[in-house]
Amino acid sequence: MITTKRRWPVRPASLLGALAITAGAVLAGLPAHADEPGAPAAAAEPPKVDLVLDVSGSMRATDIQGKSRLAVAQQSLNEVIDALPAETEFGIRTLGATYAGDNKTEGCKDTKQLYPVGKTDKVEAKTAVATLRPSGWTPIGLALRGAAQDLGTGPTTRRIVLITDGEDSCAPPDPCDVARELAAQGIHLVVDTLGLAHDDKTRQQLLCIANATGGTYTDVRTQEQLTQKVKQLVGRAGETHAVTPARTTGTDKCETAPLLGPGVYTDRQKFSEHRVYRVPVKPGQELRASVSVTPDRAVARDYGVLLQATDTHGQELVRGTDAGSGRTDVASTGVRWSAADDDGASASPTGTAAAGTTVCLVVSNSFAGQAGVQADPGLPLELTVDVAAASPAPDGPAMGLGRGWILLLVLTLAGLLTGLVFGWVARWRIAVWREN
C-alpha cells in the first residue's frame, strides 16, 4: 500500500483574490493627482455675440450651391442656433430687411434688432429668422453701430459677426470708419466679417472692418463653410470673452522682441514669416504658451504652424507643431517648459535659459496665399502666455515613471505570480493522479 502525503489544494480563485487585494494595497499608497492649480475664476459676465445679417435685395441671388444667398444664411443660422452653448448670450440684427422702396434716405435707416442679445429661446429665434425676405438697401455702418449698442459695454470682449454679400450702399457713415470709431472707444468689441460675394470692393471693405477691430474676414463659398465658421466664431467668444487680448508686435530677432508677461496677445503675421517674443522665466517657474493662427483669406491647402521656445542663443528648448490641409479654420499648437526639464546648464552654452532669465518664443507659419490673395495685412495671430510654479519633482525613480507605469508593473507581477501558481497546481494534480 502506497501512502501519499496529503497536500491542501490551493484554489486559483482564492489566489487571484489575494493578489487583487495586494495590488489594491499597493495602489492605495500612490499619491492621487491633485487638480491643476491656477484654474481660471468664473467669468464676470457671459459671452455675448450679436450676428448682423444682410437681408438686402441682392441676397436673392442664387449662386451658392443652387440656393439663394439668404436661404443659405438662414439654414446656417438654424444650425448655429441649435448648437449655441448654454452660457452664450446671442442676438440677431438685420439690415435691409423691412424697406423695399426706392427712397434711399428711408432705405438707409433700415436696420433693426430681430432677436435681442440674451439667453436664447431657440424656437423663437429660428422662427424670427424664417420670416426674413430679401428687401432693401445695405446700411452696414449704421447696423454696426446698432449692434454695438445691442451688446452694451462691460469689462469683457464682445463679438459682432457680420454676414453680407456686398459693400455698404448707404455711406456715410462709412462702415470702415465706424469700425475704427468703435475700436477707438475701447469697449472691447471685435467684428468678424463673412462675405458671400467675391468682388474686390466688398472684400476690401470687409477686410478693413475686421482689421480695425482685431477680427477676421472669411470669403464664404458654401453653406457648410458658413455654418462651420459662424459656429467657430461663437465658440471663440466663449473662449476669449473673459480676457481682452493685448496688441503686440513681434520682431524677427530675440534681442529686439517685445517682453511679454502672462496674458493673451494679438498680432498679425505674414505668409511664411517668423515672429519672436521674449518671456522672462525665473528659477522654479514653468512656461506654458500656445498660439493660434487664423487663415482669414483663401490659402493653399497644405500649411502648418510651429511654436518654438529657445534660449537667447537660438538653441531650441522645446517645440510644438500643427498642420492642416484646408479643412480647418485655425491652426494651433503649444509648448510647456521649465528649467527642470534640462539637466543643469545643458539648455544653452552659458546656462542662461536653464537659469530661467529669458526664453524666446518663435512663431513660424507655412501658409501661402492662393492666386490674387493679398499678403497685407498679416494673418490674425493669438498668443497665450502663462508662467506658473514648476511641477514638483517626483520623490524617487519609481515615482518618476508615473502612476500608469506603476500600475503596469503591479499587474505584470501579479500575472507572473498567477502563472507560477497555476503551473505548480497543475503539476501537483498530475502527481496526485499518478499516485492514485
Q: Distance (Å, rounded) from C-alpha 244 to C-alpha 247?
A: 10
pLDDT 10s digits, 270-282: 999 999 999 999 8
Q: Which fold has domain 48-240?
A: Rossmann fold (3.40.50)
| Mean per-residue pLDDT, 349-367 | 73
Of 26-35, 319-328, 412-421, where does mean pLDDT reach its minimum? 26-35
Q: Distance (Å, rounded) from C-alpha 384 to C-alpha 340?
A: 22
Cβ pair 120, 84 in contact under 8 A:
yes
> For residue 216, is pLDDT > 90?
no
How does the average pLDDT of the chain come out, rounded?
80
Closest CA to 233 of 184, 289, 286, 193: 193
Closest CA to 108 of 135, 138, 145: 138
Whether the predicted model's global pTM rises above the 0.85 cut: no
Phi-psi region of 293 (alpha: psi -120 to 50; beta: other; left: phi over 0): beta
Domain 246-389 falls under CATH 2.60.120.380: yes
Q: Distance (Å, rounded) from C-alpha 15 to C-alpha 110?
A: 82
Share of the chain above pLDDT 70, in %: 78
Domain extent listing, the chain = 48-240, 246-389, 397-436
| Mean per-residue pLDDT, 412-417 | 76
Beta bridge partners of 90: 49, 118
Angle at the Cα of 78 from the Cα atoms of 235 and 219, rounded to 5 degrees:
65
